[in-house]
């Protein structure tokens, strides 16, 4: 067989290699090096972290390519970057400069309010956010090679990520005990392709890797979501908006591996300095919530 | 039944565990020294070699791993596992076990957009093996003790030294369990 690139196996395969690891948001070379030295499995190159995007408002777009390329040059771990929902030209540009994963992300201002990017035609793999199983399967149907919970980015509040993970894993459990004759109705209910619904029912899990994102601020948060079925974590504002980023980054890496060992969790949680300042999601107006973006 | 450990600090250790089951071994996750003491052989999975190395160092696994390797424990390392076992890595310093006399170059085949799958001839297997290369390393040079089992583009991508078997590609996600059988037979 001749050499084949951009296959599902190759695209989903990179996410397999990231499992059990922490992916960190970074906005410059210095932060990227801190993340790599702390044991991050990848970095997400951004112009602003979500909590600043939230604070500053306005339209949030793909980062300046110079920032992304400088970071690609500086570290040996994979570099991810975000495009706006539905903005397939931003996606093509990110593929052209050779980023390792594209996050079609609700954290940026959506470019299309009906359609996401058709991710099947790309050589570069995509990760997408989801709040429930139907949304995850629609994204996989479009070609996403990795799924993450949306949570509520930039809040430092884990409650929404927990809601989304519990929803996804709970709905998977329900599918796995259904009869074959019930799966078409389930597909209708979830507004998801029936083939993927059948795959999930048979596997008892998503056909791609599932990470948690949106609100992780402490090692204990990382441990919590790993217990709830996440296969790894994205940490956004939680590291570089805290008092001692390098130390907190190392602690979250260890907590993600040793999530089932309370002694290690206790050891790494001690004396980390102040965490990022959090936001109460309940008092947040609907139009400030990012998780509602995406269809 | 032989007990095969899978170093479960980070990476695709679950994919290895299910291949080990298929190859007829009991698979156990290894994150501590005690867990390492209880296995007959060890798989070091694909993942990020820097993350795996840092965690192994921090949790005092590097010396015990070297000692078990010196005592002849069979090891199978894939991709990041290959890098971690090498004596030398081309480029920036990172924690290494150094149990195989070779130099590896990380991400030698390129970034993710250059990752690929193909069929490969491997010494000791009668039919070609389907191989998945993901941001894969290659071997730059090997010492006299190291046997090259497969090459791609003129670069060694599978090697053996004593009981340590290393591949730059990922037999654990290609669905062919023959490499894992080679490892399990040695336990």
B93: buried, middle or exposed (CB in 10 Å: 19+, 13-18, 0-12)?
exposed
Which pLDDT score, from 0 to 100, does residue A57 have? 87
B173: nearest CB among A3, A13, A20: A13
Active site residue B180: no
Active site residue B21: no
Q: Is the pLDDT of residue A288 over 90?
A: no
Question: Is the Cβ of A101 closer than 8 Å to some Cβ of chain B?
Answer: yes
Q: Which one, of A69, A20, A10, lies nearest residue A41 by Cα?
A: A20
Residue B171's closest chain A neighbor by CA?
A13
Question: Is the Cβ of B157 closer than 8 Å to some Cβ of chain A?
Answer: no
Q: Is the pLDDT of residue A286 over 90?
A: no
Task: Tell me the pLDDT of chain A averaged across its residues.
Answer: 96
Domains of chain B and CATH, by start: 3-185 (3.40.50.880)
Please tell me the pTM assigned to this model: 0.97
Q: Which one, of B129, B98, B133, lies nearest residue B112 by Cα?
A: B133
Q: Which one, of A90, A22, A97, lies nearest residue A60 by Cα?
A: A90
Q: Which two tokens stand for residue A280?
A: 């109460």
Residue A43, SS3 per DSSP: strand
ipTM: 0.96
Say if the Cβ atoms of B92 and A76 lie within 8 Å: yes
Residue A270 has what DSSP assignment? T
Per the listing, tokens 């080990």 go with B20
Residue pLDDT, tens place only, B130-172: 999 999 999 999 999 999 999 999 999 999 999 999 999 999 9
Residues in A touching B91 (Cβ below 8 Å): 76
Identify the helix (H) or strand (E) that includes residue A264.
Answer: helix A262-269
Distance CA B131, CA B128 (A): 9
Question: Is the Cβ of B24 closer than 8 Å to some Cβ of chain A?
Answer: no
Q: How many CB pairs under 8 A join A and B?
A: 121
> Strands B41-44 and B75-78, how do they pair?
parallel
Question: Is the Cβ of A273 closer than 8 Å to some Cβ of chain B?
Answer: no
Confidence class for position B41, pLDDT limits 50, 70, 90: very high
Active site residue A11: no
Residue B96, SS3 per DSSP: coil
Strand order in the sheet with A101-105: A209-211, A146-149, A126-130, A101-105, A79-84, A42-45, A22-26, A233-235
Please tell me the distance in Å from A192's CA to the nearest CA on chain B: 26
B55: nearest CB among A9, A13, A39: A39
Buried b (16+ CB within 10 A) or exposed e, A153-192: bbbbbbbbbbbbbebbbebbeebeeeeeeebeebbeebeb
């Amino acid at each position: 067989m001749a050499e084949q690139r951009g296959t599902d196996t190759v695209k989903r395969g990179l996410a397999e290699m990231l499992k059990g690891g922490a992916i960190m948001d970074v906005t410059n070379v210095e932060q990227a090096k801190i993340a790599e030295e702390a044991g991050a499995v990848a970095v997400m190159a951004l112009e602003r972290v979500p909590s600043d995007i939230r604070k500053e408002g306005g339209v949030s777009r793909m980062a300046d390519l110079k920032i992304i390329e400088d970071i690609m040059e500086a570290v040996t771990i994979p570099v991810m970057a975000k495009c706006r929902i539905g903005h397939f030209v931003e996606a093509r540009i990110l593929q052209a400069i050779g980023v390792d994963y594209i996050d079609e992300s609700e954290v940026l201002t959506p470019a299309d309010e009906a359609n996401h990017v058709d991710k099947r035609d790309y050589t570069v793999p995509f990760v997408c956010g989801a709040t429930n199983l139907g949304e995850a399967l629609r994204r996989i149907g479009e070609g996403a090679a990795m799924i993450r919970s949306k949570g509520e980015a930039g809040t430092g509040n884990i409650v929404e990520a927990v809601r989304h993970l519990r929803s996804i894993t709970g709905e998977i459990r329900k599918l796995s005990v259904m009869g074959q004759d019930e799966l078409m109705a389930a597909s209708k209910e979830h507004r998801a392709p029936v083939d993927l619904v059948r795959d999930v029912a048979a596997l008892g899990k998503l056909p791609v890797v599932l990470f948690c994102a949106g609100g992780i601020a402490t090692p204990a948060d990382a441990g919590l979501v790993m217990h709830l079925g996440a296969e790894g974590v994205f940490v956004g504002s939680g590291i570089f908006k805290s008092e001692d980023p390098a130390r907190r980054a190392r602690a979250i890496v260890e907590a993600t591996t040793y999530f089932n060992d309370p002694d290690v969790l206790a050891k790494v949680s001690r004396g980390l300095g102040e965490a990022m300042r959090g936001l109460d999601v309940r008092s947040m107006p609907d139009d400030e919530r990012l998780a509602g973006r995406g269809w | 039944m032989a007990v095969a450990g899978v170093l479960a600090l980070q990476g695709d250790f679950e994919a290895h565990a299910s291949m080990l089951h298929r190859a007829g071994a009991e698979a156990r996750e290894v994150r501590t020294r005690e867990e390492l003491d209880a296995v007959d052989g060890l798989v070091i999975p694909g993942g990020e070699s820097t993350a795996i190395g840092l965690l192994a160092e921090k949790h005092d696994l590097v010396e015990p791993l070297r000692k078990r390797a010196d005592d002849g424990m069979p090891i199978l390392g894939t991709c990041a596992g290959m890098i971690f076992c090498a004596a030398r890595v081309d480029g920036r310093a990172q924690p290494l076990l150094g149990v195989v006399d070779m130099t590896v170059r990380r991400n030698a085949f390129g970034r993710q957009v250059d990752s690929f799958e193909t069929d490969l001839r491997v010494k000791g297997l009668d039919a070609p093996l389907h191989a998945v290369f993901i941001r894969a390393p290659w071997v730059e040079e090997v010492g006299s003790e190291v046997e090259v089992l497969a090459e791609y583009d003129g670069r060694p991508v599978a090697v053996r030294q004593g009981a340590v078997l290393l591949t730059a590609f990922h037999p654990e996600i290609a669905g062919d369990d023959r490499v894992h059988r080679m490892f399990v037979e040695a336990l």
